[in-house]
Amino acid sequence: MKFVFVLALICFASAKSVQPEPKYDHTLEESLKAFVDIIDLNKVLSILLEGLSSDEEVIQVIEFMQGPEFTNIVVTVQDMKEYQDTLLTLYNLGLDVYYYLNAIHEILGLPPIHHPDARNGSRTLIGFFEKLTAALPLDELRVIYEDKMKNDEVFIIAMETIGSKEFRRIGDVVMAMPEFTTIMNKLEEAGIDSKKLLEIIMDFFGW
């Protein structure tokens, strides 16, 4: 289900970004604001900061994400036409995904991604995700999600793009990469349930 993917987008939707030129009567960022308005962002941020500062398994995962294997996965994905097309679609719907992704990339030390025109597991880790989920008003968010899937053209296009077979191919390419296997093995060696983590990732993208 693509609902979980929406949760990731709304975590950033209240930040300041450069708004793309809208092609509809409202933007995707405005669509996501309905979700943001009912979330206690301070509580979610507090859980994130606590996990990043004191949860050893969360910290290990972040360290893996700063390693060469994960960086190579990111570079490979960024070069994929399917990924570039997906970002451009979301951008054209009125969400500056390049701004948000680059904010994350900067934190993790990953290479930036540019708009085309600019170029010329384990118990504590799973518990961390469970705490984040518990901090969200999921029932209310689902009601808004279902309503928008019926009545919000911009939102529907965005979710269809994320759920497309072209976007799914990005995941297939990543999981076939030796670097992905290396990361999963390292997580297991660190005592982190990589299968459960992969489940979370698959749910995240609605796969």
Angle among Cα 32, 168, 205 to the nearest 5 degrees reads: 40
pLDDT digit string, tens, across residues 41-97: 889 889 988 888 898 888 888 888 889 999 999 999 999 999 999 999 998 898 889
Q: Which two tokens stand for residue 144?
A: 């808004």
Q: Which residue has the higher pLDDT, 17 or 145?
A: 145
C-alpha 52/C-alpha 147 separation (Å) is: 34
C-alpha 17/C-alpha 28 separation (Å) is: 13
Q: Coil, strand, or helix at residue 158?
A: helix
Query: Which residues are CB-contacts of 171 (< 8 A; sequence separation ≥ 6)?
Result: 202, 205, 207
The overall average pLDDT reported for the chain is 81
Q: How far apart are the first and last CA of the chain?
A: 7
Q: Coil, strand, or helix at residue 9?
A: helix
Least confident stretch, 14-18, 31-35, 40-44, 109-113: 14-18
Global confidence as pTM: 0.58
pLDDT digit string, tens, across residues 103-129: 888 888 888 888 776 544 445 666 777
